[in-house]
Amino acid sequence: MSTTINVVELFAGVGGFRLGLERADKSVFKTVWANQWEPSRKSQHAFDCYTSHFSEGEQVNTDIALVPNTTFEALDIDLVVGGFPCQDYSVARSLSGEKGLQGKKGVLFWEIKRVLENSHPRFVLLENVDRLLKSPSKQRGRDFAVMLAVFRDLGYSVEWRVINAAEYGHAQRRRRVFIFAYKNELEYAKKQQALTHERLLFQEGFFASSFPVENEPFKKRYATTTLPLDVVAISDEFSFEFHTAGVMHKGEVTTTQPTAKEIAPTPLAAIIEPEVEETYYLTEAEDEKFTYLRGAKKIERISATGHKYIYAEGGMSPVDDLALPGRTMLTSEGSVNRSTHIIEVNGRKRYLTPLECERLNGFDDNWTEGMLPRMRYFCMGNALVVPLITTMGKKIKEINEQEPEQDLQITFHL
């Protein structure tokens, strides 16, 4: 098998996937095509940041839906990666009655599906918020089941895992679901299918072998199901509680909730700059506002129908503990918002700097330099924890090296 892995990066942001893979082995992972487009924005800050760091391969700043199928057909792709938005995955039959699915307009997973249909990569690695496994709230598990069925119909097996970066030594308590799909014709797939689900999910699977877990599931959470053959039926009727890890092969699903064998996290203190500009320190008015926002409160509100109710919010520490890893960073970081990190250094309260936020995600210092501070915060709130991708990249490299030199027989069903 060729040692080079050609990569397509979708919804690339500022390049977290690519940076993580290149840290795993830059000589192996070659990004041949990347797309980043921020709709409704005149300035494309993330794309500009991406192109300032990477020059090899084609980089496209346009709506992915406008890229023709021929573009992907012409690329020799081994791996597709991307972090995509969590949206509504309800589907319906086409009006003509022909086979096929018509998703809600703007659902970007259908663009991932289109890329896979036209390029047939061996591997797919995706990242999303962990609530994807339980959405929508009125039909738990439907959206993720639709995704799994799409992978099934395209000839892939899937492993997934919710990973908290802080549990594996990093500086942020960021929980995200990672989805690894691989073609059923691969030798790797055959080896995985020969394992018991217990060995795959707790010891030898893609995630368990790289992010170790205890041998028993949390509170004995373990379940199985079979996905309906009709994806529209899944959209209309299917409901199932997917746990934080699992495997799907040919529509047969096994899911469980493992417990991480934790590595001591990196504390906030380790990523703090020794000196920062005065602008990052809280004014007296900001300090008062944050005291209120982070405090416990009960507020009487009136709904749109005129119903009175009490909105309650629990209190949180007035500052973030420097001895602990940071909380999950959001796109609102750096604003006067309850979720913004506030630290106290030498008796003074301040915001995290954009550089410190880059460190929370494991980027190189000043990766987003050149943007306005608010955009630097926004991009880091959208980004992933890069070292996790490096760990996964090393595993993908190992899998690829063990594959025999042969042409894959591409099979999928519509």
Which residues participate in catalysis according to the annotation?
Answer: 86
Cα separations in angstroms, 236 against 89, 141, 142, 202, 224? 11, 12, 9, 33, 20
Least Cα distance to 29 among 390, 410, 388, 413 occurs for 390
Please tell me the distance from the alpha carbon of residue 23 to that of residue 100, in angstroms, as a whole number. 39
Please tell me the distance from the alpha carbon of residue 40 to that of residue 44, in angstroms, as a whole number. 10
Q: Which residue has the tokens 């802080």?
A: 166
**Which H or E run includes 25?**
helix 16-25
Please tell me the distance from the alpha carbon of residue 387 to that of residue 20, in angstroms, as a whole number. 6
Phi, psi dihedral angles at 374 (to 5 degrees): -60, -35
Rg for the chain, CA atoms, rounded: 22
Please tell me the distance from the alpha carbon of residue 384 to that of residue 11, in angstroms, as a whole number. 12
Tokens representing 389 are 């991708």
Q: What is the DSSP letter of 65?
A: G
How many other C-beta atoms can be found within 10 angstroms of the C-beta atom of residue 369?
12
Strands of 229-347 (E only): list them: 245-249, 252-256, 297-302, 308-313, 342-345
How many other C-beta atoms can be found within 10 angstroms of the C-beta atom of residue 316?
14
**Nearby residues of 69 by Cβ (< 8 Å), 6 or more positions away:** 114, 117, 118
- β-partners of residue 71 are none
First to last CA, the chain: 29
